[in-house]
Structure 1
Amino acid sequence: MSTLLELRMFAEHTLESAPADSRPLMESTIEHFGHLPRAVARLAESPETLGGFLRASALFEASTLDPLGREVVVMTIAVRNGCWVCIAGHTGRLRELNASSTLIAALRSADPLDDPRLEALRQFTLRVLATAGEVPQDELMAFVDAGFTTRNALEVVLGIGTYTMSTLANRLVRA
């Protein structure tokens, strides 16, 4: 019974049923993906949340972290937060980037990555989360020594903020 109630708690909006301010956001998502993802249909309940996520996501996508690096950050957060819809979606994105099945499996299981640079990124992401941003200087230096920049360190924070919002909202709406 509670499962049925949970499903009804957050509407899966269409363009017709969504709040007016969510409709243009939904339309742009459909243009981008070719369909309306269930998570977006449910997040549309709050135009502010949906718009905030989409804007933050676009900023993160425009960061100087390379696409594979961005996906390492996203998957690290998605796995940490148990957002299965995010894990599935970003597994697909990793496949589009021709990531190896070994890398994908390690990210999905929170195991160390074979690539030292990507593992440094994954570890740095986890340390930012664990320390609420107060990463010890030697660990920040290890991140930079792995080939990243201080700009990248701040971009990791942007990714964490963006995908923490996404994973928590997706879990809340049972996406």
Structure 2
Amino acid sequence: MRSVPTAPFVLHTPDTAPPAARRAMEGATRALGYLPGAVALMAESPQALDGFLKLSALFESTELDPLARETVIMTIATRNACHLCVAMHTRKLTALDADPELITALREQHTLPEPRLDAVRTFTLAVLDHAGAVPAEQLQSFLDHGFTPRNALDVVLGIGAYTLSTLANRLTDAPLDPALTSYA
């Protein structure tokens, strides 16, 4: 993994980015205290940047609890080998006081120590593996862990948001931000 993206992608600043991306870049900078490299790169397409930010905000507003949402995100991040997302969401899980065993299992794509969260992980993988046509028994297993049909669609929303992010990060070779290096 390189620390600087390769051509044709550019690490934009608010001054060099397309005007339609500038507000989103400034918002990300305010929220995090720095401009993430992934945002600076995705700014090349204001619509992709705006789409990801809106989708991820919608995902954050679902009825899934924070650990369930992070389980979906880390499942996508590890499956798509997005080093940046793995580091960023390891930091978020740490801030949520997640069990270190859970974080390790997510990072290593192993069965999770908490059956409810492992149901989220396996359901997420089933949605991906079956292009949404999840076999009835796998859907029922997810529901048997206390989730609802609404939650199943919330998982699909998370998959969409973080597939966009992980693929864009890999395409642009987004660098690991210094604030995330201890979580890599």
Same fold (TM over 0.5): yes
CA deviation map 1:143-163 (0-9, x unaligned) = 111011110000000000110
Q: Match for residue 166 of structure 1?
A: 165
Which residue number corresponds to residue 107 of structure 1?
106
Q: Does 1:91 align with 2:72?
A: no
Question: AA paired with 2:66?
Answer: P
Structure-2 separation of matches of 1:131 and 1:142: 15
Which residues in structure 2 correspond to 1:20-99 (within 5 Å)? 20-99=19-98
Q: Distance in 1 between matches of 2:23 and 2:54?
A: 13
In structure 1, distance between residues paired with 2:4 and 2:137: 49
Deviations 1:7-33 (A, max 9, x none): 232110111111000000101111111
Alpha-carbon RMSD across the aligned residues, in angstroms, is: 1.4
Partner amino acid, structure 2, of 1:86: C
2:177 corresponding residue in structure 1: none
Amino acid of the structure 1 residue aligned with 2:56: S
CA shift, 1:35, in A, is: 1.1
Higher relative contact order (CA 8 A, sep 6+): 2
Aligned twin of 2:9:
10
The change in CA–CA distance for 1:165 and 1:99 in structure 2 (over 3 A counts) is same
In the other structure, the counterpart of 2:156 is 157
- Residues in 2 aligned to 1:4 and 1:83: alpha-carbon distance in whole angstroms: 14
Gaps of 5+ in 2: 175-184
Number of residue pairs matched? 173
TM-score, scaled to structure 2: 0.91
Are the equivalent residues in 1 in contact too, given 2:5–2:11 (CA < 8 A)? Answer: no
Using the size of structure 1 for normalisation, the TM-score is: 0.96
* Residues 88-139 of structure 1: CA deviation (Å, up to 9, x unaligned): 1010000010011111110000000010000001000000000001111121
Q: Is the 8 A contact 2:12 2:41 kept in 1?
A: yes
Unpaired runs of 5+ in structure 1? none
Aligned to 2:29, what secondary structure does the other structure show?
helix
* 1:81, distance to aligned residue in structure 2 (A): 0.3
Cα distance in 2 for partners of 1:141, 1:147 equals 10
Amino acid at match of 2:138: E
The answer to whether structure 1 residue 145 and structure 2 residue 144 are counterparts is yes
Conserved? CA contact 2:75–2:121, under 8 Å: yes
